[in-house]
Amino acid sequence: MTPLLLALLVGGLAPAADECPTASRFTFQVERPRGGSVQGLQVRVEAGGPRGVRLATDVVSDSGGLLVCLPDGVSGEMVEVRLSHDAFRLLYPPRGRLPLSREGSPSLVVCQIREDCALLSTEEVARLIRAAQPQAQGMTEAQKAAFFREWLDYAKQLGVENGELFATLVRKERQIEASTQASQLLSRFADRARELLVRFDRHALEAMDHPSNAPYGQINEARAAYNPVFDEMKDQRASYLQKTADYWPRDVSDRFSRLFEEALAFHYAEVFPLNEALHTVNDCHFKRPTCPDRAKGRASVTAATEHVRAVALPRLDAFEKDLRAWLDDVGRRLFDEKGDKP
């Protein structure tokens, strides 16, 4: 870099690092998507909020490091990053906003107009997406979807003609949408199934002899909440599976398909058979002629409750564990180039 260009980039220098209290020092790592030095590029970091507006500047070192002094800065505080030179654009973070961190150095990815801003390869876009992983780590699925949507809008405003970046950001948003809808459905199924099983175990025997309808009503209430979720799974199975297959690689969508099939199998093996026991409970409660010998009826309902405790609930535990593992994997794959290969 020539001394003239370095002078243009540097401008006013930030306070010397040795003049800044350790608690106020924050570091960043500045890089270009295709590699190459950004030494001497001046970066301004602005913090606001209840602590008041604080500005800090520094120039990128030869190793890509950046050290700024932000009095009263705390981890997690959102700051805005700006570049001092018109020849450079900030590709990440979107709109230049990111949280401060004392765990490592958050990444800033910049590009230079008429050089590496014009077109990024698949590999370069993948590196850019991976740079966003620490910032999105604690986000909900809805927040991640909004994050990628905002990034896409920001990239469009930059006027950077980058088809691969645009396509990737759109794909990420749709991946999140598909996996969120899928996981929410299966989570609702597990929650409703568990509530039904627990209430059956707790109230079925009591409902046979209780003078009021309250115990049986507890079971019926849970069954009424469960049935629509199961109907949605059964009726819209193809739609959920197709959405996941459209936007996620084969191994991810196959695992979801197996979870879906396990949920349906659980219904037919563990929930549907409870109907017979509930008919017995109902008939005996209302002393109908269809009630079998009461002792035999109690024995059959007792066997059903024991099966719920010994088999159905542990099987549901295992299903929820597999569902959480799938969601954890999806969360990691969202920032992995392997997550973009259908």
Whichever domain contains 42, its CATH number is 2.60.40.1120
Clarify whether residues 200 and 266 are in a common domain: yes
pTM higher than 0.85 for the full model?
no
Domain end call among 84, 102, 118: 118
- 92 three-class SS: strand
Clarify whether residues 182 and 275 are in a common domain: yes
Residue 19 lies in a domain: yes
| Strand order, beta sheet including 107-112 | 65-69, 25-31, 107-112, 88-92
Residue 286 lies in a domain: yes
Residue 143 lies in a domain: no
Segment 162-168 long-range contacts (CB within 8 Å, at least 24 positions apart): 162/117, 162/118, 162/119, 162/120, 162/125, 164/119, 164/120, 164/121, 164/122, 164/125, 165/91, 165/120, 165/125, 165/128, 168/125, 168/126, 168/129, 168/340
Residue 157 lies in a domain: no
Where helices occur in 111-267 by DSSP H, the ranges are 122-131, 133-136, 141-158, 163-209, 214-235, 237-247, 250-266
Q: In angstroms, rounded to a whole number, what is the distance separating the alpha carbons of residues 237 and 218?
A: 29
Clarify whether residues 184 and 111 are in a common domain: no
| Contact (CB, 8 A) for 26 and 70 | yes
Domain end call among 118, 137, 153: 118
Clarify whether residues 41 and 187 are in a common domain: no
Clarify whether residues 107 and 225 are in a common domain: no
Clarify whether residues 330 and 254 are in a common domain: yes
pLDDT of residue 198: 97
Clarify whether residues 212 and 330 are in a common domain: yes
Residue 29 lies in a domain: yes
pLDDT of residue 147: 86
pLDDT of residue 124: 79
pLDDT tens by residue, the chain, 342 residues? 333 233 333 333 435 556 788 888 899 999 888 777 788 999 999 988 777 788 899 999 999 999 998 888 888 888 999 998 888 888 888 888 888 888 878 889 888 877 777 667 778 788 888 888 887 877 888 888 888 888 888 877 776 555 678 788 888 888 888 898 899 999 999 999 999 999 999 999 888 887 888 888 899 999 999 999 999 999 999 999 998 998 898 899 999 999 999 999 999 999 999 999 988 888 887 788 877 678 888 899 999 999 999 999 999 999 999 999 999 899 888 887 655 555
Clarify whether residues 107 and 240 are in a common domain: no
pLDDT of residue 230: 96
Residue 94 lies in a domain: yes
Peptide bond preceding 93 in cis form (omega within 30 of 0): yes
Per this entry, what is the length of the chain? 342
Clarify whether residues 113 and 4 are in a common domain: yes
Residue 224 lies in a domain: yes
pLDDT of residue 58: 92
Clarify whether residues 82 and 185 are in a common domain: no
Report residue 340 as tokens. 């973009």
Question: Which residues, including other chains, have CB under 8 Å from residue 170's CB and lie 6 or more apart?
Answer: 152
pLDDT of residue 81: 92
Residue 151 lies in a domain: no
pLDDT of residue 302: 93
Give the CATH number of the domain where residue 318 resides: 1.20.1420
pLDDT of residue 162: 57
Reference 244, options 308, 202, 185; nearest CA is 185
Name residue 30's beta-bridge partners: 108
Q: Give me the number of domains the chain comprises.
A: 2
Q: 5 lies in which domain range?
A: 1-118
Domain end call among 85, 102, 118: 118
Clarify whether residues 98 and 224 are in a common domain: no
